[in-house]
């Protein structure tokens, strides 16, 4: 575990060091936000959730911030892991720190290499017992939770207009490390994709209220 954390710190330090060489001293920091729908294939199904990212830009290429993913629809699985439910479900939750380095910068498209690391929960739920029953987003009762350290290398594509607002597409590979109450950490490693919209916070909001793109 310590070895893996050391590698992670080295990778993040390398990204930040490379980014610092491109930071002009007179560049003002900018805040970016985006919200998307995330699909993460887990076990026999796909966990569908919300993905939110807030980042602060430093210079022309480097940005650092926070990222979170919360489940809306749990993935189905055939394995109850001895917990006695006939309708097991698996959900995925993440909160972490994200670093992005801009590879391509054009008027219509930005492409970033991303590295996200933080705390993850893989949740085993009982689909026969739902909280908020009668609602479309009823959540299965949690039977067990695996708490992991998560590392997510990936790519972020941002299509933008002249106000730096546009569509965002993210793809990453999720790696989990830690002890498990059900299954094994490496059995939950998976690709995930997120599609959403966002842009410069200062251009979407102003003192006079919300300015949304036409």
pLDDT for 16: 41
User: Does 164 or 204 have the greater pLDDT score?
Assistant: 164
pLDDT band at 137 (very low <50, low <70, confident <90, very high): low
pLDDT for 139: 86
CA of 73: how far to CAs of 40, 41, 42, 126, 181, in Å? 11, 12, 12, 13, 22
pLDDT for 12: 44
Calculate what percentage of the chain has a pLDDT beyond 70: 75
pLDDT for 212: 43
Produce one character per residue of 27-47: b if its CB has 16 or more CB atoms within 10 Å, e if not. Answer: eeeeebbbebebbbebbebbb
pLDDT digits (tens, 9 = 90+) for 156-203: 999 876 556 789 999 999 999 999 999 999 999 999 999 999 877 655
pLDDT digits (tens, 9 = 90+) for 98-119: 999 999 988 888 999 999 999 9
pLDDT for 7: 45
pLDDT for 168: 93
Range of the domain at 153: 2-210
pLDDT higher than 50, residue 209: no
Q: Tell me the C-alpha distance between 212 and 81, whole Å.
A: 47
Number of C-beta neighbours around residue 153 at 10 A: 14
Number of domains in the chain: 1
pLDDT averaged over the chain?
80
pLDDT higher than 80, residue 24: no
pLDDT band at 38 (very low <50, low <70, confident <90, very high): very high
Angle 5-116-143 (CA atoms, 0-180°, nearest 5)? 85
Query: Which domain CATH number covers 142?
Result: 2.40.160.20
pLDDT for 68: 95
């Amino acid at each position: 575990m310590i070895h893996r954390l050391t590698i992670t710190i080295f990778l993040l330090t390398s990204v930040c060091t490379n980014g610092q060489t491109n930071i002009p001293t007179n560049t003002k920091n900018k805040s970016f936000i985006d919200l998307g729908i995330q699909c993460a294939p887990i076990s026999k199904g796909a966990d569908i959730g919300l993905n939110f990212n807030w980042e602060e830009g430093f210079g022309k290429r480097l940005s650092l911030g926070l990222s979170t993913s919360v489940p809306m629809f749990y993935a189905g699985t055939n394995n109850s892991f001895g917990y006695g439910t006939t309708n097991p479900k698996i959900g995925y939750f993440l909160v972490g720190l994200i670093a992005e380095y801009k590879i391509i910068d054009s008027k219509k498209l930005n492409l970033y290499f991303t590295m996200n690391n933080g705390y993850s929960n893989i949740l085993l739920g009982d689909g026969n017992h739902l909280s908020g029953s009668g609602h479309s987003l009823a959540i299965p009762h949690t039977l067990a939770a695996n708490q992991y350290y998560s590392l997510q290398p990936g790519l972020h594509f941002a299509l933008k207009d002249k106000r730096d607002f546009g569509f965002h597409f993210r793809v990453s590979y999720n790696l989990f490390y830690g002890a498990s109450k059900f299954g094994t950490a490496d059995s939950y490693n998976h690709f995930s994709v997120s599609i959403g919209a966002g842009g410069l916070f200062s251009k979407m909001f102003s003192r006079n209220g919300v300015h949304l793109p036409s």
